[in-house]
A and B are shown apart, each in its own frame.
Chain A
Amino acid sequence: MEAPIRATEFLRFTLLSLLFFVCRSSPSHDLLISNAERRIDLTSHIVKVYLTLKVENAGSTPTSEILLAFPPTQVDHLATVEALVTKGKRKKTTLARLDVKPTELPDAPNGTKYFTIYLANPLNSGESTTLEVLYLFTHSLEPFPAEIGQSESQLVYYRDSALILSPYHIKQQTTFLKTPSTKVESFTSMEPTNRAGTEMKYGPYEDRPPYSFSPILIHFENNSPFPVVEELVREVEISHWGNLQVTEHYTLVHGGARHKGVFSRVDYQSRPNLNGVSSLRYLLARLPPRVHSVYYRDEIGNISSSHLRTDSRKSELEIEPRYPLFGGWKATFVIGYGLPLQDFLFESSDDRRYLNFTFGCPLLDTVVDKLTVKVVLPEGSKDPSAVVPFTVEQHLETKYSYLDVVGRTVVVMEKKNLVPVHNSPFQVYYTFKPIFMLAEPLMLASAFFLFFVASVAYLHIDLSIRK
């Protein structure tokens, strides 16, 4: 008896929702893109795409939502999408950041994924606006051949579409690709296609209907190392005695073409330009200024090959792994440093304290597959809350450190697929009473006191049976 009712309900619901979506999404198709220019930077292993869209509202109703479409294969590697709108006329243009959120649309062809850009002011009919969109892909350069010897250079594939995937009609579009060197093995041609030096130009293409797609494949040399941090755990420990201790555990892998066969040190040392060009020799970490007691070690001890340069604005830590990393080789290490607390801890207007620290990985040009940031609040702090500029998974933990009794609250934030763009500040708010700072010194003092009392008592009490 129940089943038919349910079926009809379901049918009604789907019909309703379909109707709703048709109503909702149909005006958006009145938008059209009069001009699109895309610049794809392939020089490092993070693919940067700068998209300039001139959007025009050809419909009758004002709209404030603009959709960006991505093929499902790219969306998995998409690290970040940012949209900026140019304001003002001619000379006094300023850029304003817009909200971008992933959106699900029911009638997406071939599993296309969408992001919606929310305009600050609705776009009235007939008006047009220029959007600057930046998005980054990780793990999008596929090494081919997948395994190379020590003296070979690294060749990679990049797959994309010559036409910009968009739910809107695009009147005119051009795509520029920048390769790291002039050495390009092959590329898909789609007239008009030009190649000059390190730049390739696809287009201009005129009047393409929505969801136009034309796959291209570029095979080129990219000898930059592909440093990928598979897992990074950053632990930020706040001590109200004036120190902020940061400990970062890295699992680093060279994500490029896998190393095959022999590693010969003599070749590597005598001809560094020809041998192991894509190997990862050193990494640069940009740390906050006034950093102190920096260490760089792994599970078997200190790694002596690192240099720290500090000036008033920033500190740079140059680290070499124990051995040069060839494709597929891994290394794990820990970087730790202390920072003066007053640079990062502030009091908010409502008497709470907040830590203002950088999210993301301090290593330059590095992809982080999984990042866990743990903020260890001092013992006795309450009501923690984190403010992060992007979505992260959050939960709380308890950690017991030096002489803790109730344990310290740890705010844990996790995020996958990070690029250096994510190195933006985040805040953790909490309340803390300074009296808790004295708990541990008092505990120690009383322990010593008791010890002395016990000693005095022992010396003055005669426990012997015989008198």
Chain B
Amino acid sequence: MAAPESSAAAVPTLYTNNALRNAFGGVLAFFILLLIGVMAFSIRLFSVIKYESVIHEFDPYFNYRVTQFLAKNGIYEFWNWFDDRTWYPLGRVIGGTVYPGLTLTAGTIWWLLNSLNIPLSVETVCVFTAPIFSAFASWATYLLTKEVKGTGAGLTAAALLAMVPSYISRSVAGSYDNEAVAIFALIFTFYLYIKTLNTGSLFYATLNSIAYFYMVCSWGGYTFIINLIPMHVLLCIVTGRFSSRLYIAYAPLVVLGTLLAALVPVVGFNAVMTSEHFASFLVFIILHVVAFVYYIKGILTPKMFKVAVTLVVSVGLAVCCAVIAVLVALVASSPTKGWSGRSLSLLDPTYASKYIPIIASVSEHQPPTWPSYFMDINVLAFLVPAGIIACFSPLSDASSFVVLYIATSVYFSGVMVRLMLVFAPAACITSGIALSQAFDVFTRSIKFQLPGIASKAEVDAAETSSSTAEAQNDVVKAEKSEETSKNRPSKKSKKKEKEEKPLTKAKAEKKRLLALPLDSSVISLLLLILLGALYVVHCVWAAAEAYSAPSIVLTSRSHDGLHVFDDFREAYAWLRHNTDVDDKVASWWDYGYQTTAMANRTVIVDNNTWNNTHIATVGTAMSSPEKAAWEIFHSLDVKYVLVVFGGLVGYPSDDINKFLWMVRIGGGVFPHIKEPDYLRDGQYRIDSQATPTMLNCLMYKLSYYRFVETDGKAFDRVRQTEIGKKYFKLTHFEEVFTTHHWMVRIYKLKPPKNRIRGKTKKSKSKTSTTSSRAKRSGTGKKNPWH
């Protein structure tokens, strides 16, 4: 470390020293990156080790099913796939409505492995796709941050991202969702944008469009990219940073990227027609105007230029007004102003709860709470401001992008808890920059304070570094500090390095003046390492405890050991093997994907909530009395109704707790379902104070049918109360299966009664009551205890 000063006289020694150090630093950085990749992969395996190698939650089951189809039938069948096992009787065009990036990625991996005769199942590939791509994402973060603030910051950011809990929550092994690959695509697209911006290379610009295409394939969140990059371009123009590099970075992306995006069936003409994309075209025009103005300015004399400006501005304003008026008229003519519901709820956080209950009903679309910030990004929350400040000294094109990225993503994460995922990489990048700059300052101070024992300090630093990843990065960064600080403005070129050598000494003098006192910098260094250690501990805890549960298997620890609740799969397996292949199963939409994937049965609604009316129909049926519900279900050709009930074991996210959403969504389309009917004084309750409408609706009955016989009191452990109506019979449904812990209950619709000719309505009702009475006595005979 002491080399730069002493070797100024002996140039050849310095030169070889530097080359050696560069080589060594390169190898070290490579191995650190490799280890970061391994860590990113392995920290996500807690779910496999603690539970099993299984697909998690809801949406991943759909993706898994699509991947299975792709692996079995090939790509052409996949594009043309019309799925008749869901949204019965409407069906769904899967090939045209799905973001194919994830499935194509996993399908390609599977195909590649199988053509190498490595017979991994599709499921295994799907389970491990997310951890693999999070390793890629951390490498992409390294590249991006390296472009912004050098290698040290890059490595720190990569290490932080590899274990940021927010990202872990969506990419543990088995969490086979779009976000798993999309975050990688997002960061990589940003990296290529910055790289193009720094180099002005058309090669990177083309790569950037391809990366953007991959992102469009992967996730609906691509609109974030296509709005953020124009914003940055606009920012650059406004702050007078227009350059040909900016033009190369942006123009090909818009042209090529939009063309490529339109190739994805689910996007199609939306790439040019929806308001989400307008910003990019507008900025595209502005960019050209600005480029043109710069060109004109170059060829005209200043006087002529002024004349031209006044001329163009007056004409241009008129044209612009006309165009804007037309655009506004066009946009205003569409009911949603050309914006999709989810995007609108981003711009206006209250939009969804006002107009679209189906979006508001999803927990991941709710705004996050403050503790969830601390849970998901932990100490990064404190480092982000420091990182933003570091980005401003000095402000380059790249660092202004990072600032813009973090500012927008903070806003979006505040609207939707799901978008915390977009915020996390930004937080990691800025925190990486902050940490790296802090280490840079402190280690440099120590080094200049103690010129005599500098080499010893280096050894010390190396020793302490082995404990945490951040500290390791610190070493690399310290080694490279001189180089990075030197060519920060111009980023590149080893040739320049040689020329700038005379400057080194002057810079060193300047640095000496900036140095901090020894003891305070040592203490700060230790505190920073402690902070990093805390972060690591928290991340490992979050990965192991909070985010690894696959949610289809639940476990609880009691005094007599681990207890496993595998009721969902029990029910799905039962449906799969013991019902007819073409039977239709109705349930609330949450369980649609799982039912089609695990039980292989046709469902009425599923998690792809594209048809609100259909969902409302099911919601209405669930909130109607038995007979009306039977009629609705019968008209939909439903044979089985599945409800999730947690009252016996205390599983809180069951259908009774989701029931108000069913009422709301149902009532949104069918006005005879009114929310106040289900509430007593504005309170949702199922005990003896509950309204009669509530106690007679289908959901209540199916959930609590014969529940009282379990403990004699019918005590619901989720709601912590005894239920309101304990003894009742079902007239139009019969219980065909209930799982071991009663978490899933499946009912069969009774066949329609034979019509009795020549009977009046009254006598018919009488026969039905007598029949039910006969049935009651019949069951009474079977069970003499009741």
CA distance A195 to B742 in the complex (A): 45
| In the complex, B751 has a CB within 8 A of chain A | no
Q: Is the CB of B573 within 8 A of A400?
A: no
Q: Is the CB of B117 within 8 A of A404?
A: yes
| In the complex, A88 has a CB within 8 A of chain B | no
Query: Which positions 115-135 of chain B face chain A at CB distance < 8 Å?
Result: 116-119
| In the complex, B734 has a CB within 8 A of chain A | yes
CA distance A446 to B578 in the complex (A): 51
Residues of B within 8 Å of A331, CB to CB, are 573, 577
| In the complex, A303 has a CB within 8 A of chain B | yes
CA distance A332 to B572 in the complex (A): 12
Interface string of B727-751 (1 = CB under 8 A from A): 0000000111111101000000000
Residues of A within 8 Å of B566, CB to CB, are 303-305, 322
Q: Is the CB of B119 within 8 A of A401?
A: yes
Chain A residue, CB-CB nearest to B706 = A266
Q: Is the CB of A302 within 8 A of B52?
A: yes
CA distance A415 to B706 in the complex (A): 47
Chain A, interface residues (CB within 8 Å), range: 20 to 34
| In the complex, B493 has a CB within 8 A of chain A | no
Q: Is the CB of B54 within 8 A of A301?
A: yes
Residues of A within 8 Å of B242, CB to CB, are none
Residue with the greatest number of chain B CB neighbours at <10 A, chosen from A266, A331, A403 = A266
| In the complex, A270 has a CB within 8 A of chain B | yes
Interface string of A368-407 (1 = CB under 8 A from B): 0000000000000000000000000000000011111100
Residues of A within 8 Å of B117, CB to CB, are 400-405
Chain B residue, CB-CB nearest to A261 = B734
| In the complex, A7 has a CB within 8 A of chain B | no
Q: A304-B564, A304-B566, A322-B570 are in contact. Are A263 and B739 (CB under 8 A)?
A: no
Chain A residue, CB-CB nearest to B115 = A400
Chain B residue, CB-CB nearest to A329 = B578
Residues of A within 8 Å of B572, CB to CB, are 300
Interface string of B101-125 (1 = CB under 8 A from A): 0000000000000001111000000
Interface string of B226-239 (1 = CB under 8 A from A): 00000000000000
Q: Is the CB of A263 within 8 A of B735?
A: yes
Q: A262-B735, A329-B578, A403-B117 are in contact. Are A151 and B782 (CB under 8 A)?
A: yes
| In the complex, B710 has a CB within 8 A of chain A | yes
Q: Is the CB of B573 within 8 A of A298?
A: yes
Q: A322-B569, A332-B577, A403-B117 are in contact. Are A266 and B564 (CB under 8 A)?
A: no
Chain B residue, CB-CB nearest to A253 = B577
Query: Which positions 382-423 of chain B face chain A at CB distance < 8 Å?
Result: none
Residue with the greatest number of chain B CB neighbours at <10 A, chosen from A151, A322, A328 = A322
CA distance A301 to B597 in the complex (A): 12
| In the complex, B598 has a CB within 8 A of chain A | yes
Chain A residue, CB-CB nearest to B174 = A301
Q: How far in angstroms is the closest Cβ of chain A from B583?
A: 14
Partner of B737, one of A263, A300, A305: A263
Residues of A within 8 Å of B54, CB to CB, are 300-302
Q: A400-B117, A402-B119, A403-B118 are in contact. Are A322 and B573 (CB under 8 A)?
A: yes
Interface string of B195-222 (1 = CB under 8 A from A): 0000000000000000000000000000
Q: How far in angstroms is the closest Cβ of chain B from A226?
A: 16
Q: How far in angstroms is the closest Cβ of chain B from A337?
A: 17
| In the complex, B574 has a CB within 8 A of chain A | yes
Q: How far in angstroms is the closest Cβ of chain B from A408?
A: 10
Query: Which positions 2-53 of chain A face chain B at CB distance < 8 Å?
Result: none
Residues of B within 8 Å of A402, CB to CB, are 117-119
Partner of A330, one of B553, B577, B709, B739: B577
| In the complex, B333 has a CB within 8 A of chain A | no
Query: Which positions 431-469 of chain B face chain A at CB distance < 8 Å?
Result: none
Residues of A within 8 Å of B738, CB to CB, are 263-266
Q: Is the CB of B119 within 8 A of A323?
A: no
| In the complex, B16 has a CB within 8 A of chain A | no
Interface string of B651-690 (1 = CB under 8 A from A): 0000000000000000000000000000000000000000
CA distance A154 to B127 in the complex (A): 44
Query: Which positions 251-307 of chain B face chain A at CB distance < 8 Å?
Result: none
| In the complex, A127 has a CB within 8 A of chain B | no
Chain A residue, CB-CB nearest to B738 = A265
CA distance A323 to B147 in the complex (A): 57
Partner of B783, one of A267, A301, A332: A267
CA distance A404 to B114 in the complex (A): 11
Chain B residue, CB-CB nearest to A259 = B578
Chain A residue, CB-CB nearest to B594 = A300
Q: Is the CB of A264 within 8 A of B573?
A: no
Q: How far in angstroms is the closest Cβ of chain B from A152?
A: 9
Chain A residue, CB-CB nearest to B562 = A304
Chain B residue, CB-CB nearest to A330 = B577
Residue with the greatest number of chain B CB neighbours at <10 A, chosen from A264, A267, A301 = A301
Chain A residue, CB-CB nearest to B121 = A299
CA distance A438 to B188 in the complex (A): 41
Chain B residue, CB-CB nearest to A402 = B118
CA distance A305 to B578 in the complex (A): 20
Residues of A within 8 Å of B735, CB to CB, are 262-265
Query: Which positions 531-569 of chain B face chain A at CB distance < 8 Å?
Result: 552-553, 564, 566, 569
CA distance A298 to B734 in the complex (A): 28
Residues of B within 8 Å of A262, CB to CB, are 734-736
Q: How far in angstroms is the closest Cβ of chain A from B639?
A: 15
CA distance A265 to B569 in the complex (A): 16
Query: Which positions 693-727 of chain B face chain A at CB distance < 8 Å?
Result: 706, 709-710
Q: How far in angstroms is the closest Cβ of chain B from A288?
A: 25
CA distance A331 to B573 in the complex (A): 8
Query: Which positions 321-375 of chain A face chain B at CB distance < 8 Å?
Result: 322-323, 328-332
CA distance A16 to B706 in the complex (A): 77
Q: How far in angstroms is the closest Cβ of chain B from A379?
A: 10
Q: Is the CB of A270 within 8 A of B709?
A: yes
Residues of B within 8 Å of A404, CB to CB, are 117
Query: Which positions 466-509 of chain B face chain A at CB distance < 8 Å?
Result: none
Q: How far in angstroms is the closest Cβ of chain B from A451?
A: 14
Q: How far in angstroms is the closest Cβ of chain A from B47?
A: 12
Residues of A within 8 Å of B577, CB to CB, are 329-332
CA distance A331 to B576 in the complex (A): 9
Residues of A within 8 Å of B553, CB to CB, are 301, 304
Q: Is the CB of B569 within 8 A of A301?
A: yes
Partner of A323, one of B598, B709, B737: B737
CA distance A264 to B553 in the complex (A): 23
Residue with the greatest number of chain A CB neighbours at <10 A, chosen from B553, B572, B577, B578 = B577
CA distance A266 to B577 in the complex (A): 22
CA distance A403 to B117 in the complex (A): 5
Q: How far in angstroms is the closest Cβ of chain B from A10?
A: 51
Q: How far in angstroms is the closest Cβ of chain A from B111?
A: 14
Q: How far in angstroms is the closest Cβ of chain B from A400?
A: 5
Residues of A within 8 Å of B552, CB to CB, are 301
Q: How far in angstroms is the closest Cβ of chain A from B682?
A: 34
Partner of B739, one of A265, A301, A329, A332: A265
CA distance A404 to B734 in the complex (A): 53
Q: How far in angstroms is the closest Cβ of chain A from B219?
A: 26
Partner of B709, one of A266, A298, A403: A266
Residues of A within 8 Å of B576, CB to CB, are 300
A-B pairs with lowest CB-CB distance, top 3: A265-B738, A330-B577, A301-B54
* A-B CB contact pairs (8 Å), 26 listed: A151-B782, A262-B734, A262-B735, A262-B736, A263-B738, A264-B706, A264-B738, A265-B742, A266-B706, A266-B738, A270-B710, A298-B573, A301-B54, A301-B552, A302-B52, A304-B564, A305-B566, A322-B566, A322-B569, A322-B570, A323-B740, A330-B577, A400-B119, A401-B117, A402-B118, A403-B116
Question: A262-B735, A322-B574, A331-B577 given. 16 additional CB < 8 A pairs?
Answer: A263-B736, A264-B735, A264-B738, A265-B739, A265-B742, A270-B709, A298-B573, A300-B54, A300-B569, A301-B553, A302-B52, A302-B54, A322-B566, A328-B578, A403-B117, A404-B117
Binding site for A on B (CB under 8 A): 52, 54, 116-119, 552-553, 564, 566, 569-570, 572-574, 576-578, 598, 706, 709-710, 734-740, 742, 782-783
